[in-house]
């Protein structure tokens, strides 16, 4: 009876320890619970209004806080007001396709993400038929994040294709540029032609200044050179529009010829007298 009571007492005090497998399962369960709890704690939701319709936007902010979200249907953008408390913040935002998307011709297109107007680094970490998740790096001091897409609401409603309008605008711009270049080229050509004409006029004026302005008797100025004037006969020149005798070419008159003959005769007589006197002196000296 006493032995039975002792055995009963020890059986009540002894409790077997859990096995290693049980401890491992408990540890994994605690880790999974912690991860789920962390996700539930940090994942936040904020409502945004688009043309009277309200949508819930889910995001996870690290090192920063989000104080407001707005949508602009005209620019196909959503704006997030943020306050970055660390050197670099991180924003994981889940975008439901039924609310906002970026597509082109029925296919997914890239979003554009700006941080205070500058392009921000981001990755699209997950894509499904119902949502797209973006991971955005937000620098310290950023106040606003803008995410640019192409459509609000149903993704099948794609932004109208403006390629034809863009092509027409590009062609118009190219034509305007070509016209401007042509006008500039014409102006340059006209300026060059005007300069060439001015240089030619200056050269002609300089040449005219070097040409003789008058010629001697019996010659005329022709093509910048003095040539014989063939309009008057021999021994005449053109003077005051009429042909007159060229005194420079006339033969001496009879009176002038008589004077010249008399002077020659006197000179000959004097020469003969001098010769006779010389011979007489010589003859007397020989007789003595």
- This prediction has a pTM of 0.42
Please say whether the beta carbons of 263 and 252 come within 8 A: no
Nearest to 226 by CA among 217, 210, 237, 215: 215
Q: Tokens 């001015």 correspond to what residue? A: 198
- pLDDT surpasses 70 at 158: no
Average pLDDT, the chain: 78
Specify the pLDDT at position 156.
47
Mean pLDDT throughout 192-204? 85
Q: How confident is the model at residue 244 (pLDDT cuts 50, 70, 90)?
A: confident
Choose the weakest-confidence range: 1-10, 89-98, 111-120, 167-176.
1-10
User: pLDDT of 40-69, one tens digit each?
Assistant: 445 799 999 888 888 899 999 999 999 999
Task: Pull the structure tokens for residue 52.
Answer: 């009277």
Per-residue model confidence as pLDDT tens digits over 210-231: 555 567 766 777 776 777 766 6
Tell me what the mean pLDDT of segment 231-239 comes to.
68
CA distance 220 to 209: 17
Mean pLDDT score, 90-97: 94
Give CA torsion, residues 232, 237, 241, 244, to 10 deg.
-100
């Amino acid at each position: 009876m006493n032995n039975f009571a002792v055995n009963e007492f020890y059986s009540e005090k002894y409790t077997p320890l859990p096995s290693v497998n049980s401890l491992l399962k408990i540890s994994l369960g605690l880790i999974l619970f912690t991860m789920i709890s962390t996700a539930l704690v940090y994942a936040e939701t904020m409502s945004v209004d688009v043309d009277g319709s309200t949508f819930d936007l889910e995001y996870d902010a690290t090192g920063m806080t989000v104080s407001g979200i707005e949508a602009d249907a005209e620019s196909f953008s959503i704006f997030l007001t943020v306050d970055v408390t660390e050197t670099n913040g991180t924003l994981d935002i889940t975008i439901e396709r039924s609310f906002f998307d970026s597509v082109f011709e029925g296919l997914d297109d890239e979003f554009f993400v700006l941080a205070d107007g500058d392009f921000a680094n981001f990755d699209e970490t997950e894509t499904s038929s119902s949502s797209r998740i973006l991971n955005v790096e937000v620098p310290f001091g950023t106040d606003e994040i803008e995410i640019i897409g192409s459509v609000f609401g149903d993704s099948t409603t794609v932004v109208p294709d403006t390629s034809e309008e863009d092509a027409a605008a590009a062609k118009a711009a190219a034509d305007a540029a070509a016209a401007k270049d042509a006008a500039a080229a014409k102006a340059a050509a006209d300026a060059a032609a005007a300069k060439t004409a001015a240089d030619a006029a200056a050269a002609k004026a300089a040449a005219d200044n070097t040409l003789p302005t008058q010629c001697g008797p019996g010659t005329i100025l022709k093509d910048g050179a003095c040539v014989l004037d063939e309009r008057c006969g021999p021994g005449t020149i053109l003077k005051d529009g009429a042909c007159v005798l060229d005194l420079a070419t006339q033969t001496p008159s009879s009176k002038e010829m008589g004077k010249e003959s008399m002077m020659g005769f006197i000179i000959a007589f004097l020469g003969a007298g001098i010769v006779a006197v010389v011979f007489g002196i010589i003859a007397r000296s020989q007789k003595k």
